Structure 1
């Protein structure tokens, strides 16, 4: 199917200022999409409040507006530019919420502007927590037991029914803003009060706790001919209860059986179809009970997300570019693969290496901030590393964080810190392994999968062997093992 000819001019909304949960990855995606659409022959109008971005470069579009990302300003730009379509899936949660507001106020209908990439109904189904829950139940997929509330009395009544702990997920918010975990009435009142304020629809979904379950994400693409592929699977080292943006994530997933992966793959494509995302990419999150194998759907983003940028760089698959071309009528099998130059975008990437993303925290810049990690994102950046194995990629990623100083750890209360996720959580895991804690002991405290803990234990065991080896006994094999673990020459030298 050729590109749509009934569309001539497209308005693209950026993500605005760099904030926690929404940063340069959306500029990366937006720039990629602008180049693709411009090459396809479309006129492009960009609006973004952040001038310090690549996507606002005048060479990438026909008109650029550096204006506040509010309903009235964007409505005025639509009135002036008269675009044929609005593509809201490249500007994060900000662009999606603006698209919804413009649709509900009648501006898009009045000006004859079509939403492409994701329809209004698809955005509503994905972002409204209760609608998403009902849609998943309707296609036979499990979701955590939950109640949608819009006031504190409703929240207290739901807590009596569901029990504690509860996870609060406000609708239409970014990076888990306003969300959290409540273990008692006092915490519930605080989290719900904040969530109701942060949610544009003033609604919060209260879920039964799945803290400690394994968390996975799938990046999925679908075109208007119902061709669908999984671009990348991503696994969180941290269990459920820690926001994905604050977690160490690994691509491809390491601890899934093939049966579990195929079940998750089938479910993710079913979710795309049920929500109605028929031209573009989405990010779908799952949780799996490590004891029973029960799988539940947590949420989906009907847009390019932080994980999309990670998956794109990890696989070489240009998710934003492909999503933009799908939005204007192309099929997956009509878009050439930039990496192979032989196949098309309909082929799923296969990785023979491992990619690790590690978050960067700077809570010292936020005096009084709660250092405990929860469902609301707190990291201010991240690094990505590639290695032949998980151990090598993780070692490179940790070194790339360029921390100013070694974390100060409280060894007298190491068990308490293992049981409470903080930015120093991984440092405490390493410290526990060095002090003789077993993998099973650490797993019971952290819920981190035993496979990951076993890989970390091998790193600590190597440190011990290196430390006990005299200079004259060092050989190439021992040094090569250190490099395969992602260690730098300096790190190896400090251990000898």
Structure 2
């Protein structure tokens, strides 16, 4: 269709957004394409000698694509100017972003992020290339198609991006490198999938390729669930393979945000998830530096990261995700792009990973930019998700492998407990710091015993309701019937709701959690976060922890600066 359109001379023209109500010619860098015109408002022939780079933005805000990626795009534009680029051009279509402000880019095309529109702009501008790795999954998915029609991708090659994004190709690469990963199988038929699940045992994880925020990713606990999830996954990811892998329960998830120059790797941070594996990374509470990983595990994670970066010939930013179970490290995913945690890592560590990545994209080597390894932090940085469940009537607040958060906050303190409590308060979780009544859903006594002593020491009044009807009366907790629990929540007698039920999708559990959301009662559903929050509250109540008030710069100035350029002043935005 595109070829025919061009043959018939049906091509759009570039027009400036009129900011002066047509009274005078508008001098603006805001542009859009339209078929309702005969000439461009820009004389592209006069710009032939200019060095231009197009940066693809993150598009409309939605779950999985938000301001974190816009921070990366804006920092990319600033960094391009440091590389001597004459025009940093942004294509984006979201008026809420900073990247669409008039004073950020040299040109802004307020246009949809589709292959057709990006190619129209590319052909008019004739840039040095396109950066697809800063705006999240939406522009990232265009790399292979842009490359196939002759557009130059700046940074990691499109074919190598595909080797990471395609679940089957990436799993095959890990096998070639001899790196551990959960057992997996590429979907060929439903019968083959069911056979694989029987071999490795349930639960299994259904993982489509090239999807945003874990879309259609599901954990199946039975053949019936597996059939349903496979149908959904193949609908969402029609052009790319679906992979099924063994889901490892009770594991810890770890991430790495890093930059590679094609040879060397700079690891910005090893990030430990406070929540257990099985919660989407965008919904998980994170901690820098790692809280419970020993040095041998951290070194193994770094070694895996370097091997994967070299194998994929990464030049620019990347994010790796691991799970750790019984000191054993497994690789689960690689994203050769900026991650939503890179602004957080950059600000906590003081190293602007985006500026570093752009330098590597333009041929600089890390050894020219970084003099020494990063210094150890003397504090903790905790990132917590922000949810909008209260505004989404009927939405289930239970977290899982598909992302649900709509924002995030990050806080720093000299202690992990202080940073965690700050982050929880900043994300509008009004945790009960003084005298509290706690309602526990479920009968997972093994999990509950791990923090029961802490609750006793805090003199909390504990109520319990068992949605499965399996609880016994031999407990220190007061057992409530569903009707009583419902009324306690409505009347404000409960300060914190904890969900330990094995079946978090049960109707009774859902109704109680939904009620807690509607009445602004703090809710915790993740085992790892429940333990961490209760322990932190206990430490704060016993005055072992004091939350200090300091600015970001005060923390960063305490670090011994060992880097090749002034990164403290580069952390803009």
**For this structure pair, what is the TM-score category when the shorter chain's length is used for normalisation?**
0.7 to 0.9
Match of 2:144 in 1: 100
Q: Identify the structure with the greater helix proportion.
A: 1
Q: CA deviation at 1:75?
A: 1.2
Match of 2:71 in 1: 28
Q: In the alignment, is residue 60 of structure 1 matched against residue 104 of structure 2?
A: yes
Q: What SS does the corresponding residue of 1:378 show, helix, strand or coil?
A: coil
Task: Please tell me whether the aligned partners of residues 146 and 206 of structure 1 are also in contact (alpha carbons under 8 angstroms).
Answer: yes
Render the CA deviation track for 1:46-97: whole Å, top value 9, x for unaligned: 1112132222334333321111111111111111111221111111111111
Render the CA deviation track for 1:198-236: whole Å, top value 9, x for unaligned: 225342211101121111111122114x22221111001
After superposition, the Cα gap between the structure-2 partners of 1:69 and 1:61, relative to the gap in structure 1 and judged at 3 Å, is same
Task: Please tell me whether the aligned partners of residues 424 and 431 of structure 2 are also in contact (alpha carbons under 8 angstroms).
Answer: no
- Aligned counterparts of 2:190 and 2:286: Cα–Cα separation in 1: 34
Matches within 5 A, 1:263-302: 263-277=300-314, 279-290=315-326, 293-302=327-336
- Aligned counterparts of 2:189 and 2:113: Cα–Cα separation in 1: 28
Q: In the alignment, is residue 221 of structure 1 matched against residue 259 of structure 2?
A: yes
TM-score, length basis structure 1:
0.80
- Aligned counterparts of 2:431 and 2:323: Cα–Cα separation in 1: 34
- Aligned counterparts of 2:429 and 2:526: Cα–Cα separation in 1: 26
Task: Please tell me whether the aligned partners of residues 297 and 328 of structure 2 are also in contact (alpha carbons under 8 angstroms).
Answer: no
After superposition, the Cα gap between the structure-2 partners of 1:455 and 1:117, relative to the gap in structure 1 and judged at 3 Å, is same
- Aligned counterparts of 1:235 and 1:241: Cα–Cα separation in 2: 14
Gaps of 5+ in 2: 1-48, 463-475, 478-498, 503-524, 550-573
Matches within 5 A, 1:148-187: 148-149=186-187, 152-187=190-225
Render the CA deviation track for 1:313-368: whole Å, top value 9, x for unaligned: 21111111111121111222333xxxxxxxx3764343111011111222233334
Q: In the alignment, is residue 46 of structure 1 matched against residue 46 of structure 2?
A: no
Match of 1:459 in 2: 537
Task: Please tell me whether the aligned partners of residues 443 and 501 of structure 2 are also in contact (alpha carbons under 8 angstroms).
Answer: no
Match of 1:188 in 2: 226
Task: Please tell me whether the aligned partners of residues 409 and 428 of structure 1 are also in contact (alpha carbons under 8 angstroms).
Answer: no
Task: Please tell me whether the aligned partners of residues 135 and 275 of structure 1 are also in contact (alpha carbons under 8 angstroms).
Answer: no
Q: In the alignment, is residue 378 of structure 1 matched against residue 404 of structure 2?
A: yes
After superposition, the Cα gap between the structure-2 partners of 1:461 and 1:86, relative to the gap in structure 1 and judged at 3 Å, is closer
Q: CA deviation at 1:147?
A: 1.1
Q: What SS does the corresponding residue of 2:258 show, helix, strand or coil?
A: strand
Q: In the alignment, is residue 362 of structure 1 matched against residue 362 of structure 2?
A: no
Q: CA deviation at 1:152?
A: 4.1
- Aligned counterparts of 1:149 and 1:244: Cα–Cα separation in 2: 24
After superposition, the Cα gap between the structure-2 partners of 1:116 and 1:454, relative to the gap in structure 1 and judged at 3 Å, is closer
Please, which moves more after superposition, 155-164 or 256-265? 155-164
Match of residue 240, structure 1, among 273, 277, 281: 277
Task: Please tell me whether the aligned partners of residues 168 and 180 of structure 1 are also in contact (alpha carbons under 8 angstroms).
Answer: yes
TM-score, length basis structure 2:
0.70
- Aligned counterparts of 1:414 and 1:431: Cα–Cα separation in 2: 17
Please, which moves more after superposition, 14-23 or 198-207? 198-207
Match of 2:368 in 1: 334
Task: Please tell me whether the aligned partners of residues 220 and 269 of structure 1 are also in contact (alpha carbons under 8 angstroms).
Answer: no
Match of residue 198, structure 1, among 217, 233, 236: 236
Task: Please tell me whether the aligned partners of residues 196 and 204 of structure 1 are also in contact (alpha carbons under 8 angstroms).
Answer: yes
Q: What SS does the corresponding residue of 1:314 show, helix, strand or coil?
A: helix
Q: RMSD across aligned C-alpha pairs, in angstroms? A: 3.4
Gaps of 5+ in 1: 1-5, 336-343, 421-426, 466-477, 487-496
Bigger relative contact order (CA 8 A; separation at least 6):
1
Match of 2:439 in 1: 411
Question: Which is higher, the Rg of structure 1 or of structure 2?
Answer: 2
- Aligned counterparts of 1:116 and 1:22: Cα–Cα separation in 2: 21
- Aligned counterparts of 1:409 and 1:357: Cα–Cα separation in 2: 27
After superposition, the Cα gap between the structure-2 partners of 1:149 and 1:48, relative to the gap in structure 1 and judged at 3 Å, is same
